[in-house]
Structure 1
């Protein structure tokens, strides 16, 4: 009986460890892309700032809590900005502020996300 309890505890601990791997970001580019999608026309200077865009920026900030998550979100923002050649760098870099959100994840084509 005691041996079964010990094995059960070890299995639960192993599963918990696998679920919380250190150094692995939980933010993925699909999440970042879907949250930034309402921002594309604004960032390309073809439309006004949509409230859905600011909601997306807030969602990205909420998703990216750890350093690894922030770096992953930054890389995804950089990749997204590079997929749209019409994205204005100044507009992109000031987007969080325009939404009233303090966020240290830059939206830029050229940022160094590791630093």
Structure 2
């Protein structure tokens, strides 16, 4: 009986790990949620409401350290792939949307140190 209980416990732990891995944030989610921000980070002006909604969504999805590090790396990659990004606009965007992001939005941020 004890062996059966241990087996069941191991199965539950494995399922929980699989579920948490399945919910990890992806660069695709980051990119699709922040697409409305591209015009602002390039040109400034008014921040589109859809951009702020996307920032809130991404911030809510990035619950773990690994998720936040993935998000950070995705943002750096995205910024590097878009011509004309104004680094100051990108850095101030979360605050303009009233979202507290736990790392500086910058291509110089070391994402490995993000907690």
Counterpart of 1:29 (choices 16, 27, 44) is 27
- Residue of structure 2 in register with 1:58 after alignment: 56
- Residue of structure 1 in register with 2:19 after alignment: 19
- For these two proteins, the number of residue pairs brought into alignment is 111
Structure 1 residue 46 displacement after superposition: 6.1
CA distance in 2, matches of 1:16, 1:101: 29
Counterpart of 2:43 (choices 42, 45, 59) is 45
1:51-105: CA deviation from partner (whole Å, max 9, x where unpaired): 0000011111101111111111100111111111211000000000111111123
* Structure 1 or 2: more helix by fraction: 2
RMSD between aligned residues: 2.6
Q: 1:42 to 1:11 in 2, by over 3 A?
A: same
Gaps (5+ residues) in structure 2? Answer: none
TM-score, length of structure 1 as denominator length = 0.80
Structure 1 residue 47 displacement after superposition: 5.4
Contact 1:25 1:72 in 2 (8 A): no
Larger radius of gyration: 1
Q: 1:106 to 1:34 in 2, by over 3 A?
A: farther
TM-score, length of structure 2 as denominator length = 0.80
CA distance in 1, matches of 2:11, 2:44: 54
